[in-house]
Chains A and B, each alone.
Chain A
Amino acid sequence: MLWEAIGFYSLALFLLFFAFKTITVPNPIHAALYLVLTMIGVAAVFFHLGAEFIAGVQMIVYAGAVMVLFVMVLMLFDLRAEIRSFSRGLFSGALKVMSAAMLAGLALGAANSSVAILEAPAAPLGGGDITRQLGIMLYTKYLYAFEILGILLLVVAVGVVSVSRIKGGTHARH
């Protein structure tokens, strides 16, 4: 139990550190790489909560596909590191105070309504392997959402190809 506590709290600390570095480091590529580490940490948190399949999906899709795209895009633009990583001025100062307040409110609300982290997760409905429960529910209770998702992905695919062929762009159709 002691090792679990140490493990969880160090994971949480690292995760917060990586997330903080993501938004404060001036070089965009370093920020993307810190974001990759954050995604991997989030997958670990999912695993700790008992959602093993979701942790795997987070790694495969988010850390393995989406972030690869981000890093590929960023590495190919010759981006200079921002000279000043923090902007100045009254308006941006007010925005910063507001977002810090919102973040504090979110954190307090989450802390108030969350259960003890180190307890074992509640037994899945009806017992049994949680991944199987997920599968069964996905194809019975949430079938409509699942099919709509397929159509949504099709729309995204068509949209991506069309946007890359915008008139005046490099790949416009003649």
Chain B
Amino acid sequence: MGTDAFEITVNFVKMVLIFLMMVQIVPLLVWVERRGSAYIQNRFGPNRVGPLGLMQLLADAVKFLTKEEFVPGRGYPFIYYAAPVVAMIPATLALNALPLSIPIHVEAFQMMGSSWGPYIFKFQGYDFGIGIVFVLGVSSLAAYALLLAGYGSNNKYSMYGALRASAQTISYELAMGLSIVGVILLFNTFSFSEIITQQAGPLSFGFMGRNVEIGWLPNWGIFYQPLGALILFAALFAEANRLPFDLPEAEGELVAGYHTEYSGFKFNMFFIGEYGHMLVASILMVIFFFGGYTLYPWLTPETVAAWFTGFSPTQASLLTALVLHVVMMTKVVFFLWIFIWVRWTLPRLRYDQLMDLGWRTMLPWALFNTVATAIIVLIARTGGVN
């Protein structure tokens, strides 16, 4: 985490800030969801509490905090209370592994009488060489929160909901893992920062020894892997239990599925986990297929750094990172809006349709995508190096 106190403190505060960002995004996203769904359904959403209804979520949070706390009579208290806390952990760990901007270079400076050396702070909690594999591993732990919730309530509807939810989650993890294989075939690396770096510049690739370059398109993954992007996006909907795959939470089917017996803030913590997964899913889409924090040709690390030549190197680096972070978050917010938009547009899939889709449609198409990508990469790169 760092070699001296300053670095350790800054790194720890950074991780906590990223976690708190995830927690704070929940009220904002719920507001966007309620207003957005209202406009889609031709009605007003919450617009009384505070300007534009923004304080509605604060009021809701206070309401949640003061609800009566009890454990269902036949429930198991420790597991019942542990499930919502466990629900927040996978999304947080995955979120901290994703780069949100370029690293910040801090020059040596003097403070409190001693000199603190030059640092490089990455714009993420921790950076592993096996980035993608870590995110996949931690996301697969999300099934446990569902199972613990269903079991801890000791209610047969909760148990059914938990079983169906975890069966759905693991079925779509296959399609997700396979579509990521296509991305790795393309970029030849597991590390997220390298994937973003490889998407800089204009669209250019080598094809059988000749270099093809299309100057007006950026070198984004979506142009190389459209099918893979579509499959990954659909599978990520299922991972986050969002419509059209949200049967585990379906009202009217299983009451509220695995969180039937939860009220108050415990219920909210499940939603922090769900929206956290949505956030991780959007960031993954942006990193793999939409260039991450660069936007060729106007906003690349070099062009943005050129705006801040008058400042000291530390400040210039910080400002560049912030601008690129805003670029990335704009793209992420676009995907979050698509998540919300799809929820209120598409009908919910029945459970057997859902499992059929996962195993009999998405898995074969993901396999086809992998094989096709491998063949094309073989043909394109033999005889030349890209």
User: Chain A residues in contact with chain B, CB under 8 A?
Assistant: 29, 33, 36, 40, 43, 52-53, 55-60, 63-65, 68, 71-72, 75-76, 129, 131
* Interchain CB contact under 8 A, B151 and A56: no
Closest CB-CB distance, A138 to chain B, in whole Å?
A: 15
Give the residues in chain A near B128, CB-CB below 8 Å.
Answer: 52
Interface string of B170-208 (1 = CB under 8 A from A): 100100010000000000001000000000000000000
* Interchain CB contact under 8 A, A131 and B130: yes
CB contact between A131 and one of B148, B170, B190 (< 8 Å): that residue: B190
Given contacts A65-B170, A71-B144, contact A43 B151 (CB under 8 A): no
Q: How many residues of B contact A (CB 8 A)?
A: 24
CA distance A71 to B147 in the complex (A): 8
- Chain A residue at minimum C-beta to C-beta distance from B2: A3
* Interchain CB contact under 8 A, B166 and A56: no
Give the residues in chain A near B151, CB-CB below 8 Å.
Answer: 29, 75
The residues in B between 119 and 148 inclusive whose CB is less than 8 angstroms from any CB of A are 128-130, 133-134, 136-138, 140-141, 143-144, 147-148
Closest CB-CB distance, A43 to chain B, in whole Å?
A: 7
CB contact between A75 and one of B129, B147, B190 (< 8 Å): that residue: B147
* Interchain CB contact under 8 A, A53 and B130: yes
CB contact between B137 and one of A60, A71, A75 (< 8 Å): that residue: A60
CA distance A60 to B140 in the complex (A): 6
B150 within 8 A of A: yes
Identify 25 residue pairs between A and B in the complex whose beta-carbon atoms are under 8 Å apart, listed by A's number: A36-B144, A52-B128, A52-B130, A53-B133, A55-B137, A57-B133, A58-B137, A59-B134, A59-B137, A59-B138, A59-B140, A60-B140, A63-B137, A64-B137, A64-B140, A64-B143, A68-B147, A68-B170, A71-B147, A72-B163, A75-B150, A75-B151, A76-B159, A76-B163, A129-B129
Closest CB-CB distance, B249 to chain A, in whole Å?
A: 19
Give the residues in chain B near A68, CB-CB below 8 Å.
Answer: 140, 143-144, 147, 166, 170
Interface secondary structure of B, over-half rule: helix
Give the residues in chain B near A64, CB-CB below 8 Å.
Answer: 137, 140-141, 143, 173
* Interchain CB contact under 8 A, B147 and A56: no
CA distance A58 to B128 in the complex (A): 16
Give the residues in chain B near A63, CB-CB below 8 Å.
Answer: 137, 140-141
* Interchain CB contact under 8 A, B134 and A56: yes
CB contact between A72 and one of B137, B140, B166 (< 8 Å): that residue: B166
CA distance A52 to B133 in the complex (A): 9
The residues in B between 145 and 160 inclusive whose CB is less than 8 angstroms from any CB of A are 147-148, 150-151, 159
Give the residues in chain B near A56, CB-CB below 8 Å.
Answer: 130, 133-134, 136-137
Closest CB-CB distance, B239 to chain A, in whole Å?
A: 12
Give the residues in chain B near A52, CB-CB below 8 Å.
Answer: 128-130, 133
Give the residues in chain B near A29, CB-CB below 8 Å.
Answer: 151
Closest CB-CB distance, A33 to chain B, in whole Å?
A: 8
Give the residues in chain A near B143, CB-CB below 8 Å.
Answer: 64, 68
